[in-house]
Chains A and B, each alone.
Chain A
């Protein structure tokens, strides 16, 4: 029986099976650095390939043992590049049968001796060029700039996105993208990245190239400490990674914390994306606290009833309700939620019901829900969600909902210049809901205002006349 923690067996497997195809260099590095993992000290098995030095598969150098692409593919790519380049080139072919035109007039320049006397007016003093600019030796990492692929158009190159782990946090997540010639060493790639950083972020203090390592990285910038750094002396062409991380060799780099993105649909139909740490350790209540703090939906007073007044639904599935807020959010196996106030109808439920009741409408949710700004007394402005049902209009404010039956609405008027809809209320409604005779519903744009006006107008006109009080 062979276990996967059997070093000898693993080493033999690596040597015989993986070395040829391994483009990470890790197998090769392990076998070189840990020769005891072979069969020499094991006292049994096949000892003929115990040392990496004797292996036919492991060779120092750029391409031995690694055939990344077929010769045909390389040739086709080269032909394709040449074809594209030739499009920009004018070709003039000389043949033996060309008729020599001989129509150039070689006017003698009689003033050439005078020219040499007056040329001093245009002399460029190279000394000034040398002294006014920085000396090349004072430009750090400049010699590594020569490994950038654009300097060597005819040489194969590799592109890498390299996360620089010691940059400030706000820019750390954006990798430095470099194209380096395939024959460059890892150390020269480090120098090239440092040269780019020194140009882009001159305030960042950098060390010598030997004080950094290149680690294998994921696309999100998390590098893997389980793998050794790439050997400084290895040619970069043998590695096929697309993402790498530049890490200080002293290990002072801070591993980025993995976060998970959750989406919450708020009661006013606004979406909020929150990044949370490990979802297996954070409860839904804690997640809601973060949601309320970031959205400002309600002001938390420290009273748990604030949060307990809400529950979550799985977005797209109103029937899946999460009412136990002490449950870890990871247990829901869901990343998108709809925030619902207890006792209120959720936004997505309104969309679903409208969609089912009016199948002829292409965008039922968008036509029935409008984000508006309500101007009240003393010009007090409040954001709300205007929900239009069959028999009523609801304005969902941050903490309460106001309902206006259509029987209490006498008319609507569009003020296109201010993206505003004026809703006139009956006298009975005024006494019940507001002291004003009309509501001012401002929208973000004239299209939304027009749509809201049209929707209200249609419902009011179709409403039974007997119910209207003019």
Chain B
């Protein structure tokens, strides 16, 4: 479901399931973009847009957005892929799996990873790049969040939760605040510059694992979903050299049972959260840079491109042999 965080009413009381889903708010776009003349996305896929999917079949696939053709498949042996991230220069794809993190060269010819970080003890559940692509963060079931220096391929910082596996993490656009959530239902705000941390527990009623957190690119909103189907949205103040302050903005019952992922559109107008639809899970989603489409990964072995305006499937990316659990999309307009 897709909601618009344009108006807030504070957390209590929560909205009911089936909250009104406003269509995307059209924004004026500059027509002089680089891709205007690229035919069919074919040329664009090489450098301007990268769409990657991965899942239980131990492969990572890169797709042409327009023609839905898979033009590259990477091997991800020994484990499923838990999370995918594309570097800001769109030349690398990072995959989080069981006991390792792997980085693949998008422009290379091989199917094997360029770098394999191993020695981690449990599942790595989340991964991401900072804005300039010099370092990378990850979090896993070993209760550790790590900062990786991609220049030296070494761990630079480690943050430990208190015996609670990390489920998700996201980086604030200010490049110094990492927001980490765990299965105890705690959201940690880790200041990378001074190593100070703050904790936030959205649901005080008990231990409700947080499934995903997201920050909008403008740094104004923070969203989180838990496995009770609740979606929380806070407004963020400060952050621009100051300490971040969270204020409850919106709380809704996004789903009756479970919510898996939430993400903001690049224009910060929409937030999407995903859950199980019937017998098929929708595991992951990514907005396109123009905020007009969303790409989903689901258990029916397909990734789909949805038009937010018509709510119809525009493309199906068919090629995985098993459920698709991760999707990542990046184009030049997506900075964070």
- A260 shortest CB reach to chain B, Å: 44
Q: Give chain A residues whose Cβ lies under 8 Å from the Cβ of B277.
A: none
**Contact between B75 and A85, CB atoms less than 8 A apart:** yes
Q: Give chain A residues whose Cβ lies under 8 Å from the Cβ of B315.
A: 130, 136
Q: Known contacts being A100-B155, A125-B290, is A107 close to B35, with CB within 8 Å?
A: no
Interface-located stretch among A88-96, A261-269, A327-335, A344-352: A88-96
**Contact between B114 and A90, CB atoms less than 8 A apart:** yes
Q: Mark A115-132, 1 if CB is under 8 A from B, else 0.
A: 110011111111111101
**Contact between B175 and A129, CB atoms less than 8 A apart:** no
Q: How far is the CA of A299 from the CA of B314 in the complex (A)?
A: 69
Q: Mark A124-154, 1 if CB is under 8 A from B, else 0.
A: 1111111011101001001101100011111
Q: Name the contact of A104 in the complex, choosing from B32, B33, B69, B156 (C-beta under 8 A).
A: B156
Q: How far is the CA of A133 from the CA of B37 in the complex (A)?
A: 11
Q: Mark A320-361, 1 if CB is under 8 A from B, else 0.
A: 000000000000000000000000000000000000000000
**Contact between B48 and A152, CB atoms less than 8 A apart:** no
Interface centre among A92, A151, A155 (most CB of B within 10 A): A92
Asked if A252 is at the interface (CB within 8 A of a chain B CB), the reply is no
**Contact between A101 and B66, CB atoms less than 8 A apart:** no
**Contact between B241 and A110, CB atoms less than 8 A apart:** yes
**Size of the chain B interface, CB-CB below 8 angstroms:** 86
Residue of B nearest to A103 (CB): B156
Interface centre among B27, B175, B333 (most CB of A within 10 A): B333
Q: Known contacts being A100-B155, A109-B175, A154-B57, is A124 close to B49, with CB within 8 Å?
A: yes
Q: How far is the CA of A127 from the CA of B308 in the complex (A)?
A: 12
**Contact between B70 and A151, CB atoms less than 8 A apart:** yes
**Contact between A125 and B35, CB atoms less than 8 A apart:** yes
Q: Name the contact of A116 in the complex, choosing from B74, B120, B218 (C-beta under 8 A).
A: B218
Residue of A nearest to B317 (CB): A136
Asked if A98 is at the interface (CB within 8 A of a chain B CB), the reply is yes
**Contact between A124 and B332, CB atoms less than 8 A apart:** yes
- A99 shortest CB reach to chain B, Å: 9
Asked if B149 is at the interface (CB within 8 A of a chain A CB), the reply is yes
**Size of the chain A interface, CB-CB below 8 angstroms:** 53
Q: How far is the CA of A280 from the CA of B66 in the complex (A)?
A: 59
Interface-located stretch among B105-113, B180-188, B198-206: B105-113
Asked if B115 is at the interface (CB within 8 A of a chain A CB), the reply is yes
**Contact between A89 and B40, CB atoms less than 8 A apart:** no
Q: Give chain B residues whose Cβ lies under 8 Å from the Cβ of A4.
A: none
Q: Name the contact of A108 in the complex, choosing from B34, B149, B241, B333 (C-beta under 8 A).
A: B241
Q: Mark B273-310, 1 if CB is under 8 A from A, else 0.
A: 00000000000000011101100000000000100000
**Contact between B174 and A133, CB atoms less than 8 A apart:** no
- B78 shortest CB reach to chain A, Å: 10
Q: How far is the CA of A201 from the CA of B113 in the complex (A)?
A: 35
Q: How far is the CA of A146 from the CA of B73 in the complex (A)?
A: 11
- A410 shortest CB reach to chain B, Å: 67
Asked if B13 is at the interface (CB within 8 A of a chain A CB), the reply is no
Asked if A113 is at the interface (CB within 8 A of a chain B CB), the reply is yes
Asked if A378 is at the interface (CB within 8 A of a chain B CB), the reply is no
- A82 shortest CB reach to chain B, Å: 7
**Contact between A112 and B331, CB atoms less than 8 A apart:** no
Q: Mark B32-55, 1 if CB is under 8 A from A, else 0.
A: 111110111110100011000000
Residue of A nearest to B331 (CB): A124
Q: Give chain B residues whose Cβ lies under 8 Å from the Cβ of A110.
A: 174, 240-241
Q: Name the contact of A125 in the complex, choosing from B36, B74, B77, B314 (C-beta under 8 A).
A: B36
Q: Name the contact of B68 in the complex, choosing from A108, A128, A136 (C-beta under 8 A).
A: A136
Interface centre among A93, A103, A130, A134 (most CB of B within 10 A): A130
**Contact between A92 and B77, CB atoms less than 8 A apart:** no
Q: Name the contact of A127 in the complex, choosing from B120, B147, B153, B292 (C-beta under 8 A).
A: B292
Asked if A432 is at the interface (CB within 8 A of a chain B CB), the reply is no
Q: Name the contact of B113 in the complex, choosing from A89, A101, A119, A120 (C-beta under 8 A).
A: A89
- B106 shortest CB reach to chain A, Å: 15
Q: Give chain B residues whose Cβ lies under 8 Å from the Cβ of A91.
A: 115-116, 118
Q: Known contacts being A85-B112, A133-B66, A142-B69, is A94 close to B33, with CB within 8 Å?
A: no
Q: Known contacts being A92-B116, A101-B154, is A115 close to B173, with CB within 8 Å?
A: yes
Q: Mark A31-52, 1 if CB is under 8 A from B, else 0.
A: 0000000000000000000000
Q: Give chain B residues whose Cβ lies under 8 Å from the Cβ of A95.
A: 119
Q: How far is the CA of A62 from the CA of B114 in the complex (A)?
A: 35
- A172 shortest CB reach to chain B, Å: 28
* A101-B152, A123-B290, A145-B69 given; 9 more Cβ-contact pairs under 8 Å: A86-B112, A94-B117, A100-B156, A119-B217, A122-B289, A122-B332, A122-B333, A139-B67, A153-B73
A-B contact pairs, 24 of them (CB 8 A): A90-B114, A94-B117, A100-B156, A107-B175, A108-B176, A108-B193, A112-B175, A116-B218, A120-B30, A121-B32, A121-B33, A123-B29, A123-B290, A124-B49, A124-B288, A124-B333, A127-B290, A128-B38, A129-B38, A129-B44, A130-B41, A133-B41, A133-B66, A153-B59
The 4 closest A-B pairs by CB, nearest first: A133-B40, A112-B173, A94-B119, A133-B66
Residues on B lying within 8 angstroms of A by beta carbon are 27-30, 32-36, 38-42, 44, 48-49, 57-59, 61, 64-70, 73-75, 77, 110-120, 131, 134-135, 147, 149, 152-158, 173-176, 192-193, 217-219, 240-241, 266, 268, 288-290, 292-293, 305, 314-316, 318-319, 321, 331-336
